[in-house]
Amino acid sequence: MTMTYASNIPTKEWVHARQTYLGGSELAAALGKSPYQTPLQLWMLKTGRSEPFLSTPITEFGHLFEPIMAEKFTELTGLRVRKISDAYEHPGHSFLRGNIDRQIVSSDRHDGPGVLEIKTTNSYRLKNEQGAYPRSWYYQLQHYLMLTGYEYGYIFFFERDTGIFHDPIYIERDEPFIEQNTQLAINWWRRYIVTDTPPDPVNHEDVLILYPDAQEGTSLEANPQSYAYYKRLKNVRSRMDELKEHESALQLLLKQEIGDYERLSLADRDLITWKNQVTNRLDTKALKKDHPSLCEQYTKQTETRRFTIK
């Protein structure tokens, strides 16, 4: 089989065209189910308020490696696949689209074709997931099953740092899941994209996106709600200080117990370690004194908003 690797790398035109529709890899973010992108951050991309990344070494590797993954899937399962160049589109809502990685050809094992979703990841990310793979991949595959009308699919992924090919995971069409999340996606697009209204922020990064700069010299008079938030935050800070003091006291007692030993254990299981550790830190004070011009050359000024409780 002849592979043309360069054709798998997204072009600038393709990336910007994605602003006109919601794809499978974006569904979880739109519904607030992605740990890597919020609904507001996705809205910023779709409305052209932030510039999308055209390519990174990791995404480029994924595209280049995709044909090899497809061959490996066939080797492991015996299921033949083929590349589908055209995007699938929802018949009633053209802003719901998707490009599947591969179509699984009909076989004796399955009635009708299926969807193969190919992923490259790393072991660290997988260790921090609740399940065997990121939940957003499930949203993506079900989105493709909705668009294609197929009854099944497989997720097949590779760990870049370990070189491990995971066993392909068979997933059946989940109709209630599809119906619910398709309607939520339609509602999201109509509410936020069509009306050009930003979704509510869900983390501190979102708030900085909406309000990056403070107007110097201005002040907002507290209303009953903001003052209540302030009092609750002060109360939480006070309790945190008490807990930190309690934590410090317990650490002191345990260090006294451990003494000259390196670890505290129970039944051959480490409970606490208190080891010698060597660290190398840059003496910025001495650097500024001995080489002020060099220090100034490599000093970078950044500006952000600092949140301070009085």
Provide the pLDDT confidence category of residue 56 given band limits of 50, 70 and 90. Answer: confident
* pLDDT, mean of residues 54-64: 84
Q: What pLDDT sits at residue 16? A: 58
Task: Name the least confident of 123-137, 148-162, 166-180, 194-208.
Answer: 123-137
* pLDDT, mean of residues 49-74: 88
Instruction: Please tell me the class of the 5-209 domain.
Output: alpha beta
Where do the structural domains in the chain lie, given as residue ranges?
A: 5-209, 222-265
Q: Please report which helix (H) or strand (E) contains residue 170, including its range.
A: strand 169-172
Burial of 201 from C-beta contacts in 10 A (0-12 / 13-18 / 19+): middle
Q: 119 by DSSP, 3-state: which?
A: strand
CB 100 within 8 A of CB 144: yes
CB 310 within 8 A of CB 231: no
Whether 189 shows a pLDDT value over 60: the answer reads: yes
Provide the pLDDT confidence category of residue 3 given band limits of 50, 70 and 90. Answer: very low
pLDDT in tens, 227-239: 999 999 999 999 9
Round the average pLDDT of the chain to a whole number and report it.
90
Q: What pLDDT sits at residue 285? A: 87
Whether 72 shows a pLDDT value over 50: the answer reads: yes
Provide the pLDDT confidence category of residue 290 given band limits of 50, 70 and 90. Answer: confident
Provide the pLDDT confidence category of residue 17 given band limits of 50, 70 and 90. Answer: low
How far the first Cα of the chain sits from its last, in Å, is 68
pLDDT in tens, 210-228: 999 999 999 999 999 999 9
